[in-house]
Amino acid sequence: MAPAPPAEIVRALPSPVLDEFYQIIDPYSVRNPFRNSTLRWRNYVLCLLMLHLGLRRGETLVLPMDALKSEKRFTPTVETVNWLNVGDNPYQRDPRQEQPSLKNNNAARQLPVPPALASLIRTFVESYRPSTRHSYLFSSLEGNPLSLRQVNGIFVTITGELTTEARQTLQQYRGAGRITPHDMRHTCATVRLHQFVENGDDLEMAIQRLRAFFGWARTSDMPRRYARAFFEDRLATIWNHAFDVHVSHLRS
């Protein structure tokens, strides 16, 4: 009987690793390993979509070039609202041999996009995305839709730029000394859950918000796994504080 696969760790990237990650993917950074501005901006926006909106790898690669939408809303002031339509490309059939896709029907959704991220997406589309014959947002240098394997390669290159200390932190914290595309989703979900709770949601409401934002089915156990990680973090904080108080009493 084959052994059961190990349980997937659902924790966010450690802060020191995340700091280095941002430094490496910044298109103007001296640490950026990609050789021209086209690649740097493509990989920057791709990573930000996965990290800040929690997109799966396949969801990111099926986005059409006009997936970002906006409209002006007239409140007491004029406000521009941005959102991303996550769904299959409506303009063409996918020519890739290994076709990326949405995981399920729940994955089709609209996600709010903050102004700063919306501005970066527009900058990429208007100034750095090369002209192609296809309508997908992300392309290879050869002008083809970006592939799943090429996305994996981007993260292998980013991992190669991490310092030894950052890789050791990853190894100790996650049991693997590399950054993967799905780590972006784990990090985004962990941060979102903390934000929902800090803004006043009870945990059950926060979990329901996670389901809608990340495109999980009602029967999916993933939100509960993030809730478990959330409680583990809280427990560690409480335990450390209690121990510090205990030591202070002993010393006094």
Question: Whole-angstrom Cα distance, residue 35 to residue 13?
Answer: 26
Total domains in the chain come to: 1
pLDDT (tens digit per residue) in 207-217: 888 888 999 88
- Report pLDDT for 42: 98
Position 172 in a domain: yes
Q: Check residue 1 and give its pLDDT.
A: 59
73 is in which domain, residue-wise? 15-251
Instruction: Please tell me the predicted confidence (pLDDT) of residue 75.
Output: 74
Which residues of the chain have a pLDDT value below 70? 1-10, 231-252
- Say what the pLDDT of residue 236 is: 45
Residue type, 208: Q
Q: Is residue 10 part of a domain?
A: no
- On whether residue 99 sits in a domain, the answer given is yes
> Which are the contacts of 184, defined by CB distance < 8 A and separation ≥ 6?
47, 50, 51, 54, 55
Confirm whether 43 is domain-assigned.
yes
Of 31, 185, 42, 58, nearest to 120 (Cα)?
Answer: 42
Q: What is the pLDDT of residue 163?
A: 96
Asked if residue 2 belongs to a domain, the reply is no
pLDDT of residue 235: 43
Q: What is the CATH number of the domain that holds 78?
A: 1.10.443.10
pTM of the model: 0.86
Residue 145 sits at φ, ψ, to 5 deg, of: -55, 140
The whole-number pLDDT of residue 176 equals 83
Q: Is residue 9 a part of any domain in this protein?
A: no
Residue 5, in any domain of the structure: no
Tokens at 194, concatenated: 């903390």
What are 78-125's pLDDT values in tens digits?
Answer: 788 999 999 999 999 999 999 999 988 889 999 999 999 999 999 999
**Residues found in the chain:** 252
pLDDT score for 238: 38
User: Is residue 215 a part of any domain in this protein?
Assistant: yes
